[in-house]
Each structure stands twice: as C-alpha cells, then as structure tokens.
Amino acid sequence: MSSSEGETERDAQVPLFARPEWADVVPIPQDDGPNPVVPIAYKDDFRETMDYFRAVFKANELSHRSLALTSLAITLNSGNYTIWQFRRRILEAIDSDMHFELEFTEQIAKTNSKNYQLWHHRRWVAEKLGPEATEGELKFTRKIFCTDAKNYHAWSHRQWVLQNLGGWKGELDYCQKLLDEDIFNNSAWNQRYFVVTKSPLLGGLIAMRDSEVAYAVESIKSFPENESPWRYLRGLYKDDIVSWVNDPRVASVCLDVLEAKKNCVFALTTLLDLLCLGYNPSQELIDAVSGMGLPDTNPTRPDCGLAELICSILGQEDPMRTNYWTWRKSQLT
Amino acid sequence: MGEFAADRHVKYILSVEKRKDDFESVVMEHLRLNGAYWGLTTLDLLGKLDAVDADEVISWIMQCQHESGGFGGNIGHDPHILYTLSAVQVLALFDKLNVLDVNKVASYISSLQNEDGSFSGDMWGEVDTRFSYIAICCISILQRLDSINVERAVNYIVSCKNVDGGFGCTPGGESHAGQIFCCVGALAITGSLHHVDKDLLGWWLCERQVKSGGLNGRPEKLPDVCYSWWVLSSLTMIDRVDWIDGQKLVKFILECQDTENGGISDRPDDAVDIYHTYFGVAGLSLLEFPGVKAIDPAYALPVDVVNRIFFGR
C-alpha cells in the first residue's frame, strides 16, 4: 500500500491547500443556494476537505490521490453517501486492492458501526472478493458483536454472508455462545432461528425441533420474563399449530413458571393461546391459575372460565396492556 | 402531565439555519433533504408551515434532482431513493407536486425494482424493505403505482415476514419496529394488509412499551422517541393503536422535550435533533394530542395534505 492511499497522522495535520500534491486543484465550496433551507455551519478542516472533494468529484478524477481524499472525507463524515459512491468508482477505475478496503472499513466501523453506507460498502467489497472473504466477514461481524451484540446492520450483513458466501459450520454454536452471554439477546435468538431453518448442514426445522424445544424450555425456566424464548418456542411450530398445542412441554413449562411464582405474564399468555386453540388443561394447571386468582372467581366450565380468569389476571399483572387483555377477553367464545 | 412546548419547537426548527458553530449540521449536509422533510412536516403539524418561504425551498429541491429523475440529499449529491421520497413529500406539503415531471420520477423509481420485487436504494444495489416502502409511498403520491410491479413488490415484503408477525430488512432479518413500519406501510398503500396477522403483530408491537411508557424497537432494547412513530403508525394502520397505554406514551414524549430551547431528543435529557423532534410530534399527532394536526400513518404526511393529493381540494 503506497503512502498516497493511506492518511498518516502527520499528513492529516497539514491542510490540503498547503500540500504540494494538491497544488493544481481549485477547491469548490458548497453551494447551498442564496437562502439555504437548512444551512450548515462549517468547521475549517471539514470545509476544506469537502471543498477539495467537490473539485475532484466534479472533475471526475478517479486517482490515487482522490482515493486518499475520500478516506479523509469519510473519516470526517462517514454518513456522506456521495463520497462512498465516488470511492467505489475510484476503486474500480484504479483496480484497487480490495483487501485494503476491508481494513479501511474496519477502521471506520470502530466509531461508526451503525452507519448504512459503511455496511453497504463492506458488502460491495465482500461481494467482489467472493468466498475467500467468508471467514473474514464472519470474524468482522463477531468483533462488532463484542461491543454491541444486537447491531442490526452487522446481523443483516452476517446473514447475507452465510447465504451468499457460506460459512454455516459454526453458526449454531456461535448463537449458543452469544445466548450464554446474554440470554435476552433477541438478535441471537433470531439468528438461531435463521440457522435452524436455513442451514444446509443441520437438516431443517423439523429435524431440529425436538432439541430446540428443549433448549427454549430451559431458557424460559431460567428467565420466564424473557420474551424471546417464548416466541422462539412458538416459532418452532411455525406452520403446525396443532403440534404446538399438543407438545406437552409447552403447557408443562407454563405450569412450571406459575408454580415457581416467577414473572408469569408470558406463561399466562401462552396458556391463554393454548386454551383458545382447544387445549384441555390439566387440573394442576387450573389449580395453579386459580391459586393466583382474583376473588369471586370460580371457573365452573374449566376451559372457557379459565381463559377469562387468565385475561383478568393479565389485566392486573400487565396493566400497561390492559386494553389488549380486555380485547383478548372479548374474543373468548 | 408536562407542558407541550410547541412554540419552542417551531423556534428550534426555524433557528437551525441561524447556527454558525454547529458541527452536527455539517455532518447532515448530505441528507439535508431528509432534514427538510422532518423540519417542514413538523412545522405543518404545528400549523406553522407558512413561516417558511415555499419558493426558496422548492427552488433548492429542484436543484437536487438529476437527469435520471432521482433526487440527491443536497445539491451536488448523487440520486438516491431516500431523498427522492423526501423531495416528493416536501413538494406535497407545499401543494407543488405539479412542478415535477412525474414520468421522470416514476421511471427512476421503477428502475430500482429488482426481479424478486425488492427495491434497491440506488444504482449501487443495496436492498432493504425500507426501500420497498419508500418506492411505494413515493410512487403512490405521484399516483403512478402502475409503473412498478406491485404484485412482486408485495410478495417480496411478505417474504420478509417473521414467525412473530413482524418484518425485517430482508428475509430472515430480525423483526424491528422501523422495518415493520416500512412493510406495513407499503402493504397498506397497496391494499395488501390481509397479509398481516394483525392480532399477532399488534401484540408484538404493544409489547414494545416499557415501564417508562416509552417504546423500544425490539425486545430488551431501550425506548427511543422515534419508535413513538414506527410502532404507533404501524399499530394505527392495523387498527390496534389502543393496545398501548397512550397516556403513558404522551408523558414519555413530553419528557423528551427541551422545553427551554425547543426540540425533542431520543430519550429524556439527551441532546435534541430535528429527526427526533419530528418523530415525537408525529407520535403526539397519532395520539391525538391537542394542537397537533392529524398525520396519515402510511404516508407520514398531514392528513389534509394526503386528502388534497387524492381527493382534490
């Protein structure tokens, strides 16, 4: 990598107008029009960098020095998509080394990991490199997850890598690792579902269902207030709701949560859903719910009365969503 | 209940142009068209759009347009679908859609549709359901839905639906309130809401409300005022907005105000910005807060503007 492509600390301190390699360029100031709608206040170094950028952009100069200029400009303002696009045109024109581009984006990601332009650029680079980039992309996203395990862009990128470049082998284990670190990480749960349903190495949803149900149930027992595993459990029975209702582990985990007197909102909601789908509750379940009970309630018809009771309890346990629970009650036949 | 400092917010929006040493403004240069949409729509919701010189704005906007028909974020910036929508929306606010060569804009949008029905943001090919919404919303305002393949567009959006009833950025992507707004909005505009499991999604959305009364965008994330829009507009479009505690949300939004200097921030005591100011006011609008005009949840424009587009004066 020649020094003209990277910006060193020393270079960055010398203003552009004083640098010999820029002597032939006339910088172009931003034209905001006579009465700018949302006018900008400029900082000098930024202003100067952008003035030079506009000059090379207008001249369509696709050179090493204009590449270096985009590095500087992106470092100062990584959200400016026009600069990124111009950079791509330069990279193609000078047939630049894409490996350096990976390093560059990684640098920018250190302070801008939620930037759309950055991630799109990274994807463009990875696409050019093809399958040889697979390990590097998985590693890169893993690094991002070390500081922000829910970074939406990174997850989107990782899914794209898996589907387009490969690398599925360790993915379920990786989801496990993230969930061990934070069982509340909804992104990791989503990724787990993605792997279980789409990985060419695992046999598909139905083959994986049994072990995944077991995992979801264990996670629920540890933290029943965790929304994700409840949804995950339901998702494992995606197009086969009857099997969800009939899997004894579903009602059983609801009972466990209620008997343990832990946060019961999702357990009650799940039980409510089961009842609405025709589930026939055991006496234990009826007793567990009644035991929570509101005074003056005595379900004589176990299934319908029980569901009503659950709605009332939920209205108390989860008052923020009182209208929802009232609506659920109104839907009971 | 706290005070809603409408006048301060108007002053804040108008005063953004007078700031000289605001570095934050500098980094927004390339998306000034978005900023104009957020600021001007907020002004209109607060009944103060006339505080701005429409002709100047329109003249500047038209300088952002390219040969392709698409608009850049500012003069000299490459066209992108994001800014094309903002341009069309701002022109709609001023009832000046007639300055557009509709065919040109329509052809730019339709050129961005892919084989699978998805939309790219621009010629560089980034795909995201955000762009599906943007394309559909934009083309609908121009009353040229015929210029895209609506069926394929809808099919692509449906392919991004998850088992929790929500939608992600691409198939398999985690459900996220922002993406949900985009997908539900696009389905609403194309008359395709039957693809949404409203009860399931409605519950997922109302579960975004946390103790403070604010809304988050995904399970176990922090609340942010912008979700007052993404979640609420989605709930409104599927007729379940009463499933959240409206009063508590109002209280949260009001707590995010800077009642001294104007503007609204992402959560209480953070710095304000135009983006969150718009979303806070838009959220209050959906909650029918007094003094705020009604906003259309699908088009993200005042209802009277939308009525004017589709039903004349």
Of all residues in chain A, the percent with pLDDT exceeding 90 is: 76
B287-311 pLDDT, tens digit each: 999 999 999 999 999 999 999 999 9
Question: Mean pLDDT score of chain B, rounded to an integer?
Answer: 94
CB contact under 8 A, B28 and A38: yes
CB contact under 8 A, B245 and A320: yes
- Chain A residue closest in CA terms to B19: A41
CB contact under 8 A, A120 and B26: no
pLDDT of residue A18: 79
Position with higher pLDDT, B27 vs B301: B301
Q: Describe the crossing of helices B177-189 and B227-237 by its angle, rounded to 10 degrees.
A: 40
Q: What is the mean pLDDT of residues A186-196?
A: 98
- Residue whose pair of structure tokens reads 């424009």 in the numeric block: B301
Q: What is the CA angle A287-A291-A295, rounded to 5?
A: 125
B232-246 pLDDT, tens digit each: 999 999 999 999 999
Contact in structure between B165 and B201 (CB atoms under 8 Å): yes
Instruction: State whether ipTM is beyond 0.90.
Output: yes
Residues 6+ apart with CB under 8 A from A44: none
Amino acid present at B6 = A
Q: Compare CB distances from A37 to B36, B202, B207 and report the shortest one's residue.
A: B36
CB contact under 8 A, B124 and A31: no
Contact in structure between B209 and B184 (CB atoms under 8 Å): no
Buried-state track B27-40, b at ≥16 Cβ within 10 A, e below 16: bbbbbbbbbbbbbb
CB contact under 8 A, A187 and B170: no
Q: Compare CB distances from A235 to B60, B164, B248 and report the shortest one's residue.
A: B164
Q: Taken in order B57, B61, B62, B63, is the CA torsion positive or negative?
A: positive
Chain B residues with CB under 8 Å of A33 CB are: 56, 59-60, 63, 75
- Chain A residue closest in CA terms to B222: A150
pLDDT of residue A298: 54
Neighbours of B191 (CB within 10 A): 10
Mutation choice for A interface testing from B163, B216, B278 by most A CBs within 10 A: B163
pLDDT of residue B28: 78
pLDDT of residue B310: 94
| Residue B88 in this model has a pLDDT that exceeds 80 | yes
- Residues of A with a known catalytic role: 114
Q: How far is CA A328 from CA B75, B199, B243, in A?
A: 53, 10, 11
A8 CA: distance to closest CA in chain B (Å)? 23
Residue from B203, B284, B205 nearest B249 by CA: B284
DSSP letter, residue A43: P
pLDDT of residue A16: 81
A34-78 pLDDT, tens digit each: 555 544 545 677 788 888 999 999 999 999 999 999 999 999 888
Mutation choice for B interface testing from A37, A266, A327 by most B CBs within 10 A: A37
Chain B residues with CB under 8 Å of A80 CB are: 27, 29-30
| Residue B9 in this model has a pLDDT that exceeds 50 | yes
Q: What is the mean pLDDT of residues B177-182?
A: 98
Q: Compare CB distances from A88 to B124, B163, B174 and report the shortest one's residue.
A: B124
| Residue B163 in this model has a pLDDT that exceeds 50 | yes
Chain A residues with CB under 8 Å of B23 CB are: 41, 43, 46
Cα B169 to Cα B179: distance, rounded to the nearest angstrom = 6
**Residue B76 region by backbone torsions, left for phi larger than 0, else alpha for psi between -120 and 50, else beta:** left
Structure tokens at A281: 């509750």
Contact in structure between B276 and B267 (CB atoms under 8 Å): no
Q: What is the pTM of this model?
A: 0.91
CB contact under 8 A, B124 and A120: yes
Structure tokens at A179: 């969930």
pLDDT of residue B21: 43
Chain A residues with CB under 8 Å of B56 CB are: 33-35, 37
Cα A111 to Cα A74: distance, rounded to the nearest angstrom = 12
- Chain B residue closest in CA terms to A116: B126
- Chain A residue closest in CA terms to B74: A32
Cα A273 to Cα A277: distance, rounded to the nearest angstrom = 6
Of all residues in chain A, the percent with pLDDT exceeding 70 is: 89
Residue from B298, B290, B302 nearest B134 by CA: B298
A59-68, B22-31, B224-233, B280-289: the lowest-pLDDT one = B22-31
Structure tokens at B44: 């209109």
CB contact under 8 A, B206 and A124: no
Contact in structure between B219 and B225 (CB atoms under 8 Å): no
Q: How far is CA A92 from CA A62, A63, A97, A129, in A?
A: 9, 10, 10, 13
| Residue B248 in this model has a pLDDT that exceeds 90 | yes
DSSP letter, residue B174: P
DSSP SS3 for A279 = coil
A306 CA: distance to closest CA in chain B (Å)? 21
Chain A residues with CB under 8 Å of B173 CB are: 155-156, 159, 190
A170-181 pLDDT, tens digit each: 999 999 999 999
CB contact under 8 A, A39 and B25: yes
Cα B202 to Cα A177: distance, rounded to the nearest angstrom = 31
pLDDT of residue A263: 86
**Helix or strand run (H / E) with residue B272:** strand B272-273
B107-137 pLDDT, tens digit each: 999 999 999 999 999 998 999 999 999 999 9
Q: Using pLDDT thresholds of 50, 70 and 90, give the confidence band for residue B18.
A: low
| Residue A12 in this model has a pLDDT that exceeds 60 | no
- Chain B residue closest in CA terms to A322: B243
A211-223 pLDDT, tens digit each: 999 999 999 999 9
CB contact under 8 A, B25 and A41: yes
Contact in structure between B96 and B58 (CB atoms under 8 Å): yes
Q: Using pLDDT thresholds of 50, 70 and 90, give the confidence band for residue A306.
A: very high
DSSP letter, residue B71: E
A105 CA: distance to closest CA in chain B (Å)? 17
Residues 6+ apart with CB under 8 A from B253: B214, B225, B228, B264, B280, B283, B284
Cα B190 to Cα B153: distance, rounded to the nearest angstrom = 9
Q: Compare CB distances from B219 to A80, A160, A227 and report the shortest one's residue.
A: A227
Contact in structure between B189 and B183 (CB atoms under 8 Å): no
Residues 6+ apart with CB under 8 A from A92: none
**Cα-flanking dihedrals φ and ψ of residue B47, to 5°?**
75, 20
| Residue B23 in this model has a pLDDT that exceeds 70 | no
Q: Compare CB distances from A324 to B21, B164, B206 and report the shortest one's residue.
A: B206
Chain B residues with CB under 8 Å of A163 CB are: 172
**Long-range contact set of residues A103-112: C-beta below 8 Å, sequence gap at least 24:** A104/A71, A106/A140, A106/A143, A108/A74, A108/A75, A108/A78, A109/A140, A109/A144, A111/A78, A112/A78, A112/A79
Chain A residues with CB under 8 Å of B14 CB are: none
Residue from A14, A31, A120, A158 nearest B131 by CA: A120
CB contact under 8 A, B30 and A31: no
Cα A202 to Cα A195: distance, rounded to the nearest angstrom = 8
Q: What is the mean pLDDT of residues A269-290?
A: 95
B220 CA: distance to closest CA in chain A (Å)? 7
| Residue A237 in this model has a pLDDT that exceeds 90 | yes
CB pairs under 8 A between A and B: 161
B234 CA: distance to closest CA in chain A (Å)? 16
CB contact under 8 A, A150 and B28: no
E strands, A150-194, are none
Cα A234 to Cα A266: distance, rounded to the nearest angstrom = 12
Chain A residues with CB under 8 Å of B168 CB are: 156, 190
Q: Compare CB distances from A31 to B76, B78, B206 and report the shortest one's residue.
A: B76
- The DSSP line for B115-167 is TTS-BBSSTT--B-HHHHHHHHHHHHHTT-GGGS-HHHHHHHHHHTB-TTS-B
Q: What is the mean pLDDT of residues A153-168?
A: 97
| Residue B90 in this model has a pLDDT that exceeds 50 | yes
| Residue A295 in this model has a pLDDT that exceeds 80 | no
